[in-house]
Structure 1
Amino acid sequence: MGVQLNGEFINLPEHIVFVSDLLKHYQIQDKVVVVEVNGEILTSTEHQSTRLSDKDRIEIVHFVGGG
């Protein structure tokens, strides 16, 4: 399936069905992230239940500490 991820069109592997699968794929499942799908911000509990579809627009922001 093809999606727009942070402004870039990419094809996702077949095993990515839910937002949580996408976070695991990019190895950011344990980080504090904000995920928006088609303009709607998801709570962390929604990551496991939100299915991704072809042509979804996904934005992922994760925080990096520093000084």
Structure 2
Amino acid sequence: MRPGWCWSGMWAAEASAVSQIARDAETFPPTTRAAMHGCVRDYAHAVVERQWSGSCGKGARTPP
């Protein structure tokens, strides 16, 4: 990615960490698992909304 682009390898690492949390949540009892999945869903939606709104630095843009 060129400098100034909104997403980077760091965000890919964050996405990997979030997906690991979602996978690990499968080991919890159903109520806890549902709460974890809800939190991950809400977090992912917040990140997407922020990126699409252009509020991450110079604005969300489609990569080259």
Q: In which range does the TM-score fall when normalised by the shorter chain?
A: under 0.3
Scaled by the length of structure 1, the TM-score of the pair is 0.24
Structure with higher strand content: 1
Q: Where is the helix percentage greater, Structure 1 or Structure 2?
A: 2
What TM-score results when the alignment is normalised by the length of structure 2?
Answer: 0.25
